[in-house]
């Protein structure tokens, strides 16, 4: 049916469909409802728009779909939100990636976690970094591992510190190595 110039059609309780000048609403088998330029379709409280299982809702370029604050969009379990291979997620320079106390970050065997020259990785006093028995922790030739004055490096009873043949353990003038009374240092074939 055609609705003439500036007429209104009332549908249901407090619902209104307004068809503007020269617009036509055709209802029936295989017909289309066309909303003209600058027209809007309003669905009132407790109303639903259903899209069939094999139908698609297309939003044209430069259009926006607004979802109210109290509404939810649910994506079915069989659907996937994919990010294209050429896309990147960037984190700004002033942002921080925090890991909770009961969580951990795992880096795969073939992956690397790179820290820039001007960055640092802080570990809390009650936390530790564990390196598996078959892995190693490599420090570059121009870098060093610093331990604070009030801390020490503990080596387990069944471990040792291996110093290469062309290197020695250098102790500063004001420092020394303390050995417990029940321990010893083995140099070559002799015990000291």
User: Cα–Cα distance between 100 and 107 in angstroms, integer?
Assistant: 17
pLDDT: is 20 or 188 the higher one? 188
Q: What is the pLDDT of residues 31-81, one digit of tens each?
A: 555 555 555 555 555 555 555 555 555 555 555 566 555 555 555 555 555
Contact at 8 Å (CB) between 115 and 123?
no
Per-residue pLDDT tens for 84-128? 555 555 555 555 555 555 555 666 665 666 666 566 666 666 666
pLDDT at 186: 73
Q: Give the pLDDT of residue 1.
A: 47
pTM greater than 0.85 (yes/no):
no
pLDDT given at position 117:
59
pLDDT tens for each residue of 158-191: 666 666 555 566 666 766 777 777 777 777 776 6
């Amino acid at each position: 049916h055609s609705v003439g110039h500036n007429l209104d059609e009332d549908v249901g309780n407090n619902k209104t469909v307004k068809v503007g000048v020269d617009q036509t609403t055709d209802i029936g088998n295989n017909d289309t409802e066309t909303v003209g330029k600058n027209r809007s379709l309003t669905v009132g409280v407790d109303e639903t728009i259903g899209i069939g299982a094999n139908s698609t809702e297309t939003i044209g370029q430069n259009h926006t779909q607004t979802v109210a604050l109290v509404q939810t969009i649910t994506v079915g379990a069989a659907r996937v939100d994919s990010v294209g291979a050429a896309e990147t997620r960037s984190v700004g320079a002033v942002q921080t990636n925090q890991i909770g106390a009961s969580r951990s970050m795992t880096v795969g065997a073939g992956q690397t976690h790179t820290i820039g020259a001007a960055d640092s990785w802080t570990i809390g006093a009650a936390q530790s970094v564990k390196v598996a028995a078959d892995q190693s922790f490599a420090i570059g030739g121009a870098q060093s591992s610093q331990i604070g004055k009030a801390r020490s490096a503990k080596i387990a009873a069944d471990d040792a510190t291996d110093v290469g043949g062309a290197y020695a353990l250098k102790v500063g003038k004001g420092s020394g190595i303390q050995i417990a009374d029940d321990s010893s240092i083995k140099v070559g074939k002799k015990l000291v």
